[in-house]
Amino acid sequence: MKSAAKNKQRNIKLVIEYDGTNYCGWQTQKNQPSIQETITKALSKITGQEITLYGAGRTDSGVHATGQVANFFTTATLTPFQFLRAINSSLPDDIVIRSVKEVPSSFNARVNARSKVYRYTLLKSSIPSALNRNYSYFVPYKLSLERMKKCVGYLIGRHNFRAFATKSSNKEDCYRTIYSIKITRKGDYIYIDVRGNGFLYNMVRTIVGTILLAGYGKIKPADIKGIIKSADRNKAGPPAPPQGLCLMKLNY
């Protein structure tokens, strides 16, 4: 009995913060350091086992996270607190495990996520920032916050977001639901907080890029209705650059 209990597969959930500046993104790629690979290597070292890490969402190179979620299976007998300390000791300091929890074997970080929250940070100023250069998108242009806020109503709800997906095949289901978009200003910074049930590749950055077009006055907020309807990637704005984006939270 004791031996069987010891060898029981446990499902471990991680909440992860990372600075994406020096990585090729979440997903493991050949010859480039990724967040997934870096954490997987640390876990394999700690457990002495080959670990597969399931992430809730892929993030691109330069995109950050304060609340990425991932899970993995192991028979290692460490307590969650021991895991937390051991993993953080093995990781470089631009990746931090914020919490470790044992979860039912049915839990899957990606499949079970009910909603995801992303924040996009704009620096609206005539002068860039040295300290926030990797964590915001510098916008020295004239920008109407009012027009940006008027875009929100056209984006919320269940829509075919094909026009906002960089790499979507015609076969792919591009229907997603956006629950809320909040645009707030604090000093020189504008935050765009987007909550949805899931996002296509580059979708949040393309939504921000399209909201910016409206903010610049290049399109009207009401044009977004037609852009969604067109399902044509060429109609939406260019994706805003990665360093302004941060995966804030996964809800289960």
Q: How far apart are the C-alpha atoms of 169 and 197, rounded to whole Å?
A: 20
In 3D space, the residue among 80, 101, 83, 81 whose CA is nearest the CA of residue 47 turns out to be: 83
Question: Two tokens at 54?
Answer: 């399931």
* Residue closer to a copy of itself, measured from CB, 56 or 84: 84
Pairing verdict, β 157-160 and 245-251? unpaired
- Decide: helix, strand or coil at residue 212: helix
- Please tell me the number of Cα atoms within 13 Å of 9 on its side-chain side: 11
Residue of the chain from 128, 153, 157, 217 that contacts a copy of itself (CB under 8 A):
128
Q: Is 133 in the site for a copy of itself (CB under 8 A)?
A: yes
Q: Is 56 in the site for a copy of itself (CB under 8 A)?
A: no
Stretch binding a copy of itself (CB under 8 A), from 3-11, 54-62, 127-135, 152-160: 127-135
Per-residue contact flags (x/-) with a copy of itself for residues 9 to 48, judged by CB under 8 A: --------xxx-----------------------------
Amino acid identity, position 69: V
Catalytic residue (one of 19, 60, 93, 223): 60
Nearest distance from C-beta of residue 67 to a copy of itself, angstroms = 12
Nearest distance from C-beta of residue 183 to a copy of itself, angstroms = 22
* Residue closer to a copy of itself, measured from CB, 38 or 202: 38
CA angle 40, 88, 56 (to 5 degrees): 50
Nearest distance from C-beta of residue 19 to a copy of itself, angstroms = 5
Residue of the chain from 76, 78, 96, 143 that contacts a copy of itself (CB under 8 A):
96
* Residue closer to a copy of itself, measured from CB, 64 or 150: 64
Residue of the chain from 13, 64, 195, 249 that contacts a copy of itself (CB under 8 A):
64
Contact between 158 and 92 under an 8 Å Cβ cutoff? The reply is: no
Q: Which of residues 184-243 bind a copy of itself (CB under 8 A)?
A: none
Stretch binding a copy of itself (CB under 8 A), from 40-48, 93-101, 115-123, 218-226: 93-101
In 3D space, the residue among 110, 108, 16, 98 whose CA is nearest the CA of residue 63 turns out to be: 16
Cβ contacts of 179 within 8 Å, gap of 6 or more: 115, 156, 195, 196, 197
DSSP state of 239: P
Q: Is 193 in the active site?
A: no
Bridge partners of residue 25, in order along the sequence:
60
Contact between 98 and 81 under an 8 Å Cβ cutoff? The reply is: no
Query: At residue 89, what are phi and psi to the nearest 5 degrees?
Result: -70, -30
Q: Is 93 in the site for a copy of itself (CB under 8 A)?
A: yes
* Residue closer to a copy of itself, measured from CB, 136 or 210: 136
Nearest distance from C-beta of residue 98 to a copy of itself, angstroms = 5
Contact between 147 and 221 under an 8 Å Cβ cutoff? The reply is: yes
The residues assigned a catalytic role are 60
Contacts to a copy of itself by CB under 8 A: 17-19, 64, 66, 84, 88, 93-99, 127-131, 133, 135
